[in-house]
Structure 1
Amino acid sequence: MKYLVMIQGTQADYEAMRGNASPGAPAWSEKEMQAMFSFMQSVNDDLAKSGEFVDGQGLAEPALTRHVTSGEDGRPVITDRPYSDTKELLAGYWVLDCESLERVTEIAARIAQCPTPEGTTEYPVVIRPILDGGGDV
């Protein structure tokens, strides 16, 4: 069964990784950044070895977001950047092919242990089953 495993973040989190601290998002040091990258690479390597890794990507910061909706006249309405009331957004994901929900939950629990600076806001790692072609889970 395939699952989408998602991690969340905010613009403040991306700014913190550039050294710009704010409440709940302390500035990251180079050592902390390297520890995070090393941890994620280890997760990806292990998932590739087990054959469970299908795809995975980190996403650009929310400031680069573009929203496209349908306007009243049917023409697209395009808004750059996230809406002001948006809190967390998708920061990265994995598509995994796992034997069970329990197995993908083990992987998510490992991902949740990614090292971050003390005081960083913790977000849940979200698991969503991917529907097969017939709409079944």
Structure 2
Amino acid sequence: MKYMLLIYSNPESWASLSAEQRDDLTRAHQELATELTEQGLLVSSAGLADPITTRTVSIGDDNSRTTTDGPYAEAKEHLAGFYLVECEDIDQAIGYAARMPDAQYVAVEVRPVMDTSGLEM
């Protein structure tokens, strides 16, 4: 089954890191991505651009489109990146999420991905 490992961050936690800690974080992600790739578990991964570049789109009752700058949720934390992994079960996915350095600073969310039928959930 596929799982999204959603990496959250916030400006304060990132700003509080030293250059060495940022380098360590980058290195840890590279090592984990290499391991997941070698095991055939990594489907995709990416970091996301700063939330200031985000646009949120909604459609009103009259089918009018509204586009606003920034993320919809008013929160300090923002989605910073993701890994899409193929794991045997959620416990295996949680194990990889726990190894992400971001889990020490804010959070990594583990979420099962529904197949195209959407019926298994």
Equivalent residues of 1:11, 1:62 under 8 A apart: no
Aligned residue for 1:37, secondary structure, equals helix
Q: How does 1:1-137 map to 2 (within 5 A)?
A: 1-13=1-13, 16=15, 26=16, 28-71=17-60, 73-82=62-71, 85-111=74-100, 114=101, 122-135=105-118, 136-137=120-121
Q: Which has the higher strand share?
A: 2
* Cα distance, 1:104–1:115 mapped onto 2, change above 3 Å: closer
The higher-RCO structure (CA 8 Å, 6+ apart) is 2
Percent identical residues: 32
Equivalent residues of 1:11, 1:61 under 8 A apart: no
TM-score by length of 2: 0.85
Tell me how large the CA RMSD over aligned residues is.
2.3
Q: Which has the higher helix share?
A: 2
**In 2, Cα distance between equivalents of 1:77 and 1:65:** 14
Stretches of 4+ moved more than 3 A in 1? 11-14
Q: Which runs of 5+ in 2 are unaligned?
A: none
**In 2, Cα distance between equivalents of 1:77 and 1:50:** 43
Equivalent residues of 1:35, 1:115 under 8 A apart: no
Cα shift readout 1:109-130 (whole Å, capped 9, x = no counterpart):
111xx179xxxx8322111111
